[in-house]
A = this chain, B = another copy of it.
Amino acid sequence: SRSIDLAVIPGDGIGQEVVAEGLKVLSAVLPQDVKLETKEYDFGARRYHATGETLTDADLDALKRHDAILLGAIGDPSVPSGVLERGFLLKLRFAFDHHVNLRPSKLLPGVATPLKGEPVIDFVVVREGTEGPYTGNGGTIRKGTPHEVATEVSVNTAYGVERVVRDAFARAQARPRKKLALIHKNNVLTFAGHLWTNVFNRVAEEFPEVSTEYMHVDAATIYLVTQPERFDVIVTDNLFGDIITDLAAAVSGGIGVAASGNINPSGEYPSMFEPVHGSAPDIAGQGKADPSATVLSVALLLRHLGHEAEATRIEEAVAADLAERVGKPARSTSEIGDALAVRVAG
**A interface residues (Cβ-Cβ under 8 A, vs B):** 75, 81-82, 85-86, 90, 113-117, 133-134, 136, 138-140, 142, 144-159, 162, 185-195, 197-198, 217-219, 221-222, 225-226, 239, 242-247, 249-251, 254-255
Contacts and interface: CB of A to CB of B under 8 A. Distances in A.
B151 A188 contact: no
A146 to B, nearest CB: 5
A82 B148 contact: no
What 8 A-B pairs have minimum CB-CB distances, sorted nearest first? A218-B246, A221-B247, A148-B158, A150-B191, A152-B154, A150-B195, A222-B250, A85-B187
Contacts of A133: 133, 152, 154, 188-189
A148 B246 contact: no
Contact of A247 (B90, B114, B195, B225): B225
Contacts of A251: 225
Nearest to A214: B81
Contact of A147 (B150, B153, B159): B159
Contacts of A150: 156-157, 191-192, 194-195
Contacts of A149: 155-158
Q: Which of A85, A153, A190 has the most chain B CB atoms closer than 10 A to its own CB?
A: A190
Contacts of A198: 144
Given A221-B221, A222-B250, A246-B218, A151 B192 contact: yes
Contact of A154 (B151, B158, B190, B195): B151
A158 B156 CA distance: 27
A228 to B, nearest CB: 10
A300 to B, nearest CB: 20
A156 B134 CA distance: 17
Contacts of A162: 146
* Copies per complex of this chain: 2
Q: Which of A115, A133, A243 has the most chain B CB atoms closer than 10 A to its own CB?
A: A243
A153 B156 contact: no
Nearest to A132: B152
A189 B159 CA distance: 23
Contacts of A221: 221, 243-244, 246-247, 250
A144 B243 CA distance: 28
A227 to B, nearest CB: 9
Given A155-B149, A195-B148, A225 B250 contact: yes
A254 B221 CA distance: 12
19 contacts: A86-B187, A114-B116, A133-B133, A133-B189, A146-B158, A146-B162, A147-B158, A147-B159, A149-B156, A151-B154, A151-B191, A152-B153, A218-B247, A221-B247, A222-B246, A222-B250, A222-B255, A225-B247, A225-B251
